[in-house]
Amino acid sequence: MTDKQSNELSMSKAVQEVLNSNSPIVQSILKFAAAKTELDNIISAINEAAKIQTKQITGNAEDKEKAANEVTDAALALIGPAKSYATDAENKTLYQAINYSRSDFARRRHQARINTLTGIRDMILENAMPLEEYGITADLIADFSALIDAYSNVVTAPRKAINTKSATTKALAAYFKELTSIIKRLDGFVAGKKKANPDFYNAYKSARVVINNGGKGRKPAAASADLSKKAA
């Protein structure tokens, strides 16, 4: 969230507090109440998006290696019996497709290793029926698949987090545009209450001031002038 967005959110929350404290006035007009509900919803959406945006992106190398070692162990436990079957069946295609050692896996980068492991799993699935006689059960294959998925998730988590943050940044821009529109509509309703509810009007007008984080003073929100004009 940018400093400008943070300032606008603080102002909006101050406005929200004033409206909450004067609920009977807000609820007295159907569309006024509806705009207040929209304000509540958009502030909640912004808060949730801000949590995602500020979440730290980490890619733990130890977690990747741990997952890689676990799935490699599972792969090798299946490769041995599968190679025995391939030899007995004279299935050279299968043998070549699964003929990997621990060092072969270790030389590959994580994503390449995942691709290789997935290919091995697929070849084993294609020969699942005869491989049962060699001790490769459906449960073992399912466990292997789960380990591949877990390894893939650990490897791709940082990239997914980056993509999510990027999408969230774009969403925030849209949220703040909507927030500005809602606040302007609220300004109009409050302006109509100046004579009947002056204390409410003044409290709202004070809340509508955007305070800069940099300490450069107080800057009226874009629609503040409109609020005064409407009330004149």
Q: Check residues 171 and 52 and name the one with the higher pLDDT.
A: 171
Query: Which structural domain, as residue segments, surrounds residue 129?
Result: 61-159
- 25 and 67 assigned to the same domain: no
Q: Are residues 139 and 216 in the same domain?
A: no
Res 210: pLDDT: 86
| Domain match, 80 and 121 both | yes
Count of Cβ atoms closer than 10 Å to residue 103 Cβ: 7
The answer to whether residue 179 scores a pLDDT higher than 70 is yes
Co-location of 123 and 45 in the same domain: no
∠ Cα 35 175 44 (to 5°):
65
Q: Residue 218, SS3? A: strand
Q: Is the same domain home to 67 and 152?
A: yes
pLDDT, greater one: 102 or 56: 102
State the first-to-last Cα distance of the chain, in angstroms, to the nearest integer: 36
Indicate whether this model's pTM tops 0.75. Answer: no
Supply the pLDDT for residue 58. 55
Query: What is the gyration radius of the CA atoms in the chain, in angstroms?
Result: 31
pLDDT score, position 217: 43
Cβ neighbour number for residue 24 with a 10 Å cutoff = 8
Phi-psi region of 135 (alpha: psi -120 to 50; beta: other; left: phi over 0): left
Cβ atoms of residues 159 and 133 within 8 Å: no
pLDDT at 112 over 50: yes
**Amino acid at site 213:** N
* Domains: count for the chain: 2
pLDDT at 93: 93
Same domain assignment for residues 21 and 106: no
Q: Identify whether residues 78 and 41 lie together within a single domain.
A: no
Q: Confidence class of residue 155 from pLDDT cuts 50, 70 and 90?
A: confident
Higher per-residue pLDDT: 232 or 41: 41
pLDDT value for 213: 60
| Six token digits for residue 84 | 């025995």
- Do residues 41 and 66 both lie within one domain? no
68 and 132 in a single domain? The answer is yes
Q: Which long-range contacts (CB under 8 A, 24 or more apart) does 94-97 make?
A: 94/123, 94/127, 97/123
Of 75-84, 149-158, 190-199, the range with the lowest mean pLDDT is 149-158
Last residue of a domain, one of 159, 176, 202: 159
How many Cα atoms within 13 Å fall on the side-chain side of residue 196? 8
Strands 218-220 and 209-211: antiparallel
Residues 166 and 52 in one domain: yes
Tell me the mean pLDDT in the region 162-184.
87
Tokens of 146: 């789960």
Mean pLDDT is lowest, of 5-14, 59-68, 141-150, 177-186, for: 59-68
